[in-house]
Chains A and B, each alone.
Chain A
Amino acid sequence: EPEVTQTPSHQVTQMGQEVILRCVPISNHLYFYWYRQILGQKVEFLVSFYNNEISEKSEIFDDQFSVERPDGSNFTLKIRSTKLEDSAMYFCASSPRLGYNEQFFGPGTRLTVL
């Protein structure tokens, strides 16, 4: 069964450093998402992406964040200058089309900012 994959599973970085989290969505899906879950808190929407541009973003997704689909398979989330409060589990998701469809989630990347 096709799955969303994410790399790395764990990332430790120093405050102020740039990180790139990588995701490979399910191959025939067209919509891509990033969510995050700070330890002990809710899963929060960050951004959705379709047709090589951002469809929607939350207020969390500020100028420090960017997303890209650099090739036909990868979908990345970049945090330019990490802060302590960026420590969280980051989930990538994809869905085949907008509307009556669930989103398929990857296993997540745990980001720790020291």
Chain B
Amino acid sequence: AQSVTQPDIHITVSEGASLELRCNYSYGATPYLFWYVQSPGQGLQLLLKYFSGDTLVQGIKGFEAEFKRSQSSFNLRKPSVHWSDAAEYFCAVGAQNNAGNMLTFGGGTRLMVKP
């Protein structure tokens, strides 16, 4: 069965500082990987996705993530954090099968940004 671990429940960074949110997954085949962001009272917005090819993927809002198969990781990065990035971030793994394409989510990392 697939699973996702986000080791950091809370992270606080200063505005303008760099950010890295960790994600480790467990899946038996090549995973489809996603990062979603959830602002308070909002739904889940897709930041970026990895299906195949280049292991460094670019997303919206200046985010990027790198797929490292050897480490079973898909960490999210941003070089300079803005106050509006404060939100909860979820890593997810998807499995294509004949049935349903369900996503399995990690527990989330809540990002706080200090002025």
Contacts and interface: CB of A to CB of B under 8 A. Distances in A.
Are A and B genuine complex partners? yes
Contacts of B108: 42-43
A108 B43 contact: yes
Q: Which 10 A-B pairs have the closest CB atoms?
A: A56-B100, A48-B100, A55-B100, A105-B44, A56-B99, A43-B105, A107-B43, A45-B102, A105-B43, A102-B46
Contacts of B41: 107
A106 B44 CA distance: 7
B107 A103 contact: no
Interface residues of A, number: 30
Given A48-B100, A56-B99, A42 B105 contact: yes
Given A43-B44, A48-B100, 18 more contacts: A33-B100, A33-B102, A35-B105, A42-B105, A42-B106, A43-B92, A43-B103, A43-B105, A45-B104, A48-B102, A50-B100, A56-B101, A95-B101, A98-B101, A99-B96, A103-B101, A105-B36, A107-B43
Interface in B33-52: 34, 36, 41-46, 49, 51
B90 interface: yes
Contacts of A105: 36, 43-45
B43 A55 contact: no
Contacts of B44: 43, 91, 93, 105
B32 interface: yes
A56 B102 contact: yes
Contacts of B106: 42
Contact of A102 (B49, B99, B100, B104): B49
A58 interface: yes
Interface string A60-102: 0000000000000000000000000000000101010011111
A102 B107 CA distance: 19
Contact of B46 (A43, A44, A104): A104
26 contacts: A4-B43, A31-B101, A33-B103, A42-B105, A44-B105, A48-B99, A48-B101, A48-B102, A50-B100, A55-B99, A55-B100, A56-B97, A56-B102, A58-B102, A91-B43, A95-B101, A100-B96, A102-B34, A102-B46, A103-B103, A105-B36, A105-B43, A105-B44, A107-B41, A107-B42, A107-B43
